[in-house]
Chains A and B, each alone.
Chain A
Amino acid sequence: MSSEPAVQDLSASPNAAAEVVNDFSIQVATVNGSGSQTANLVLIRSLFQMGIPVSGKNLFPSNIAGLPTWYTIRANKHGYVGRKKEIDLLVAMNAETAKEDVLALDAGAAVVYDEPLKLQDLRSDLVFYPVPFDKLVAPVCPDAKLRRLVRNMIYDGILSRLLGIEMAEMERALGKQLGKKAKAVALNQVALKVGYDFADTNLPKRDPFRVERMNATQGKILVEANAAVAIGAMMAGVTVVTWYPITPSSTVCETLIDYMKLYRVDKESGKATFAIVQAEDELASIGMALGAGWAGARSMTATSGPGISLMSEFTGLGYYTEVPAVIIDVQRVGPSTGLPTRTAQGDILSTAVLSHGDTKHILLIPNSAEECYELTMTAFDLAERFQTPVFVMTDLDLGMNTWMADAFKYPDKPLDRGKRLDAETLKRLGGWGRYEDVDGDGIPYRSVPGDGMPAYFNRGSGHNARGQYSERADDYKNNVDRLARKFETARQWVPKELVDLDPEAEVAFIAYGSSHWAVEEARDQLRQEAGVKTSYMRLRAYPFTTEVEQFIDRHKRVYVVEQNRDAQMLSLLKLDLAPGQVGKLRSVLYYTGLPIDARSVSDEVLAQERE
């Protein structure tokens, strides 16, 4: 084999002595459209099957084919699944970025690369594994058109040998990934084997990274959080779904369509118990969702920041006229086109007060696939309970990446359809006004078209408590005051913040959504490396509960970690807090478009602590 001399020329790894087991990151650099996704998913899945906690992140460009893309897999025995900044093992398949990718590595990293790229002379502090991919793939795959795809499976075989990932698990993962496509499975199995054998013969192990079977993924699943949202919506009984394609939210509705076809078609008649419509734009999709919500269906739409902007006017109408709908916002980098395939938490502030006039919206903020599932269900309950649009704020990092999660639990509570007027209630109330606050919680009773109850005219213009047109000063004020009261009631109903108190900590974190994973790991780094003890409160909804104030009272400095430039959540907190508490708040902000990593958080906190 031609690669043999290169292997022999290389000196031993600088790190050869210290073995690193089940704690590394792999980055595969390919070209967008080259079909590496199967190989990457087989890789992550086989690690998962060996019981090792993993996560996979796809860093891809906003185009269809030809630009660089990177897939990062993190395996970590402690269960850290946030992005790790440092790459331990690079698979360099893309000529365009290979040099830059290699130069960016930390010393001691290993590089599996396409031999013609000749990367081995770039650095002397790395371990290089040259592989002649083209030569290896040609005999495996006579069909030249398929070679591009099969070629990727060879690096899986190489990594299997180098890292010690069991071949049986690789093959099982391949079967799971390709399912019934027997021909494709067979072809890829050969490619796996060729890669493995090549490494076995030609690539003596010189890097410290390897895997060992563990038992930390028992009962868990691998899932993208957009799919978790889709499953949550279906289990919440959604019946009208309206959407307009936009990255990174499209797979919410696409996955939902697949599941609904499977589980929400009447077995006897073959008829659908749902309607899913691809609307002409976001203006229409929110309009349809509100029309359906008004008419009594559980309805939703999914979008991202630019779509949220377009939905602004209708959302205000939904808030003011009190119409339920669920809006999933899978956030990305903005504004406008921004970086459509990169992640951010940049819609928090604008969505909380979306629209004109006085508006405030309920936001639910999941941090994981499990919570994407659970809080989506909660969103439907709250939308109907509070008769208002409710937003689920996820992001691209959650939505389009592969996460390890606990199997989703079957809901233990019935659907909350909120205060629906029925004959009994009408009798009890002795009359009905659409916007009367009979219970003192700001939430009125509603009727829906076709339910036989008294009708009302849903209007964005001024109205009195009976729903009649009114421009009277007191009617308007009473109405918006009641809406504010309703929002206060929501504080008792939204998912509570989760708190991990360290009684000795002076320093605390507040974070939300996908930032959670970096914060959790950063807390360990701060404690282990700098002796800094911290408490942590994870926000899960807006409005906040009163626990936020108590939490801030207990600590001297509170770092609010978020993935945007302008400290948007901190701004929302300021609206709620007393001036003394506001003074304790500090920001850790990360907004490169990449998922936030623990090191960036811990470094920033230490820097600010030293000031």
Chain B
Amino acid sequence: MATETPAAPAPGKKVNRINLDLQTYRGSKTTLCAGCGHNAITERIIEAYFEMGVDPQRVIKLSGIGCSSKSPAYFLGTSHGFNAVHGRMPAVATGAVLANKHLCPIGVSGDGDTSAIGTGQFVHLMRRNVPIIYIVENNGCYGLTKGQLSPTADIGSRLKNGVVNDLPPIDLCALAIQLGATFVARSFSGDKKQLASLLKAAIAHRGAVLLDVISPCVTFNDHEGSTKSYAYVKDHDDPLGEMTFVPFFDDIVVDYEPGTTQEVKMHDGSRVYLKKIEEGYNPRDKVAALSLLHETARKGEFATGLLYIEPDRESFTDLLNLVDTPLSMLPEEIVRPSREALDQIMERLR
């Protein structure tokens, strides 16, 4: 239940480096449709946080409104959560990390929540480089209101009821790269291995992470004519490369041939190794990332993998030059100026 503290694991259970078992990283039972891609993402989140040994007390999970936004209830049941209003989870997350910069937020949103009502807040979250893992569970339609088109639906994509989309899609990855997000990746809810690696790398990153996960809607958008169905995505997935994430607390084993791997050192000392398929693809090259997205979209394909990373840019909370103690925990003698300070102000107003 969401109101419990983590309990000690049962003897003999597999535990992680902070002595918690996998169960601790689970939440309440899902109420989404059986087979929903979002549930697969939830499973990967649970595993990633467990395997990385993240303290659930430090994680806050946030969401907006929509099917996707229900999912934070289904993982990390002992973490604080905030289900905000439609499209405006970014503001809540921003406020929360201002209050306590040591918190590790994970936000789950949908394509409607992010690219329609939430565009404004998404834009500014990325622009500020707020330290957050922002996952878009992207199925190109509104599930919770029974299947309307969302702004990420591709041109020509057809709804179950026959409505054809005639507007161009918003490419959230391209948008995020343009805006200044420092970790931008795309994946597919069915690609267990890639998604797991990306999530772990995202946990190690300090800054705004956009993880756009194509997650087909099994009820309203998994049919012929949809460009976000399982069948379509499986046929058109163009992985950027095989990715391995090495946490900083594990022995680092390099099993890639020099010259064929791209090493990216993360903020916490861990590393991401990208095995390059495309000759010369460099995930630190903004222009290359944008042209890749443009090219693949033109061909009706999805480039998946770590599209762009910029590990060195200061996050929003770093920029503010805050004291080390979380602002929310500062005692009265720190936050209330002295009698002399007030006297000084009054003197100036006399």
**Distance (Å) between the CB of A8 and the closest chain B CB?**
43
- Please name the residue on chain A nearest to B335 by beta carbon: A237
B95 contacts A299, C-beta separation under 8 Å:
yes
Scan residues 203-241 of chain B and give those whose CB is less than 8 A from a CB of chain A. none
B121 — which chain A residues lie within 8 A by C-beta?
280, 283-284, 287
For chain A, the count of residues having a C-beta within 8 Å of the partner chain is 78
**Distance (Å) between the CB of B320 and the closest chain A CB?**
5
Total contacts A to B, CB within 8 angstroms? 233
**Distance (Å) between the CB of B55 and the closest chain A CB?**
10
Interface string of B64-92 (1 = CB under 8 A from A): 00000000110000111111110010111
- Please name the residue on chain A nearest to B60 by beta carbon: A449
Does A469 interact with chain B (Cβ within 8 Å)? yes
B91 contacts A239, C-beta separation under 8 Å:
no
A117 — which chain B residues lie within 8 A by C-beta?
none
Does B32 interact with chain A (Cβ within 8 Å)? no
- Please name the residue on chain A nearest to B123 by beta carbon: A280
Does A249 interact with chain B (Cβ within 8 Å)? no
B57 — which chain A residues lie within 8 A by C-beta?
449-450, 452, 455
Flag the segment in A21-29, A101-109, A457-465 that touches B: A457-465
B80 — which chain A residues lie within 8 A by C-beta?
447-449, 455-458
- Please name the residue on chain B nearest to A222 by beta carbon: B349
- Please name the residue on chain A nearest to B317 by beta carbon: A275
B327 — which chain A residues lie within 8 A by C-beta?
239-240, 273-275, 292, 297
Interface string of A440-452 (1 = CB under 8 A from B): 0000000111111
Flag the segment in A68-76, A258-266, A518-526 that touches B: A258-266
Does A187 interact with chain B (Cβ within 8 Å)? no
Does B334 interact with chain A (Cβ within 8 Å)? yes
Does A466 interact with chain B (Cβ within 8 Å)? yes
A294 contacts B82, C-beta separation under 8 Å:
yes
A275 contacts B320, C-beta separation under 8 Å:
yes
**Distance (Å) between the CB of B324 and the closest chain A CB?**
8
* Assembly CA distance A471 to B28 (angstroms): 16
**Distance (Å) between the CB of A20 and the closest chain B CB?**
28
B95 contacts A296, C-beta separation under 8 Å:
no
B93 — which chain A residues lie within 8 A by C-beta?
291
A408 — which chain B residues lie within 8 A by C-beta?
342, 345-346
B96 contacts A295, C-beta separation under 8 Å:
yes
* Assembly CA distance A108 to B65 (angstroms): 67
A456 contacts B3, C-beta separation under 8 Å:
yes
* Assembly CA distance A288 to B60 (angstroms): 15
Picked from A240, A410, A450, the residue with its CB within 8 Å of the CB of B342 is A410
Picked from A262, A296, A450, the residue with its CB within 8 Å of the CB of B58 is A450
Scan residues 329-359 of chain A and give those whose CB is less than 8 A from a CB of chain B. none
Interface on B for A, CB 8 Å cutoff?
1-5, 28, 56-58, 60, 72-73, 78-85, 88, 90-100, 102-103, 120-121, 123-124, 320-324, 326-330, 332, 334-337, 339, 341-342, 345-346, 349-350
A279-B124, A284-B94 are known contacts; what are 20 more A-B pairs with Cβ within 8 Å? A222-B349, A259-B345, A269-B323, A271-B324, A285-B91, A291-B95, A314-B84, A410-B342, A411-B336, A448-B80, A449-B79, A449-B100, A449-B103, A450-B57, A450-B58, A454-B3, A455-B79, A456-B2, A456-B3, A456-B81
Interface on A for B, CB 8 Å cutoff?
220-223, 227, 231, 234-240, 242, 259, 262-264, 266, 269-275, 277, 279-281, 283-299, 313-314, 317, 407-408, 410-411, 414-415, 432-434, 447-461, 466-469
